[in-house]
Structure formats: structure tokens, C-alpha cells
Amino acid sequence: MSWEESTRQKMLHLKLPTDPRWVGIAEMQIEDILVDHAYCEQKAASSCISLIVRFNDLEELVDTLTPLVAEEWGHFERVMDQLKKRGMKFGRQRKDEYVAKLNDFIKKGGSRMQQLTEYLLLNALIEARSCERFKLLSQHIQDDELKKFYYELMISEAGHYVTFIELARKYYDPEKVNKRWQEWLAYEAEVLKNMELRGDRMH
């Protein structure tokens, strides 16, 4: 199976495709998109750091997430380069409604491994949606350099999505993980459906 096919299959797990109008309006506000994207990469790195701190005793998790921190930080640097090249400013962080809503779905309490499962699935979901959006940008925008940039990031985030799901299945009952993953997917689709379509946010 080609990489394209396997990724398409993975992304099909998302229950609601992005509104096709999004990419057109995002392209018109590419400075806002790049700024928002820069913060997304920062948050991806810091979320991995938090997991490493909180679950320091889980050797495989620490070994897997440590290089991911560097990778996400590398993405942040690359987004910053794209902004600089275009003479664009790194503006302030905006409210991240999408991630805030997803956070609301985290089940409180339960065992430590149940908590870990929640965090890993939340991360997996954000990676999957980011990957879907990067794919749209890589396919539809005019700027050739950004097309290539988003294509490369799409591949990287697809890998991260798999990493988070696999870690979840390693540290908790895989059947329960799969069931909970379906709930997360359904919830994310609802969140997206009820969010205003705007082109100044990555999500």
C-alpha cells in the first residue's frame, strides 16, 4: 500500500471531513494560519513534555516522546522561517477553541493508565485533524513552497498520530482503547460541526 493510500485510510477515521470552503479562506489569511500553526507546534511539543514529566516511570513512553518533542520544536522553527521569509509577524496566541472543547471531553478520575489513555487519544486526535488540514493545504494552495512544506508536515503528523494510538494500546486494554477512541472521534466531529468556519485558525 502506498503512503498516500495508508494515510488516506487513517484519516478516514475522522468522522467529519473539513468543510471544503476552509482551505480557500485559509489561503486568503495565510499569515493568521501560519501564526496559529506556529502555536500549534509549540503546544504539541509542550504536551509531549508534560506527558514525559507526568509519566516519567513509563520507559517506552519517555523514549518515544523524547524525540517527538524535538521534532515538534523543529516544526515550530520551520513555521517561524516561513513567516520570516514572507515578512510576516509572529503575532499573539489566540484562544484555541477547538482544543479547549476537546479538553472538556477528558474523563476525570479513573486509574492512572485511564488518565494516560485520555491524554494519548486527545493528542492522537489533534494530530489526525492537523494532518487532514495540512493535506488540504498541500493540495489546494497556490504557493509552491508552502505546498511542499505542508506535504512534509502531513507525513510527519500522520506518524505522530500512529505513535499516540500505539502507546495508548500498549499501556491500557487495547479493546477499551479502541472503544474510547470511537467516542473521541464522534465527539470531535460534533465539536467541528458546531464551530464557526473561519480561515484564521488551523482548526
Dmax (CA) for the chain in angstroms is: 49
For residue 157, state whether it binds Fe ion (rule: CB under 5 A).
Answer: yes
CB 32, min distance to Fe ion, A: 18
CB 84, min distance to Fe ion, A: 18
Q: Which residues of 73-105 are buried (b: 16+ CB within 10 A; e: fewer)?
A: bebbebbbebbeeeeeeeeeeeebebbebbeeb
- Its sign, for the CA torsion 174, 179, 184, 189, is positive
CB 129, min distance to Fe ion, A: 11
- Residues in contact with Fe ion, counted by CB under 5 A, come to a total of 7
- Its sign, for the CA torsion 7, 13, 106, 32, is positive
Contact region for Fe ion (CB under 5 A) — 6-14, 55-63, 157-165, 188-196?
Answer: 157-165
CB 19, min distance to Fe ion, A: 23
CB 170, min distance to Fe ion, A: 18
For residue 75, state whether it binds Fe ion (rule: CB under 5 A).
Answer: yes
For residue 135, state whether it binds Fe ion (rule: CB under 5 A).
Answer: no
- Find all residues with CB under 8 Å of 148, minimum gap 6, and list them: 138
> How far apart are alpha carbons 34 and 91 in whole angstroms?
10
For residue 36, state whether it binds Fe ion (rule: CB under 5 A).
Answer: no
Query: Which residues in the 4-33 window bind Fe ion by CB under 5 A?
Result: none
Interface residues toward Fe ion, by CB under 5 A: 41, 44, 72, 75, 127, 157, 160
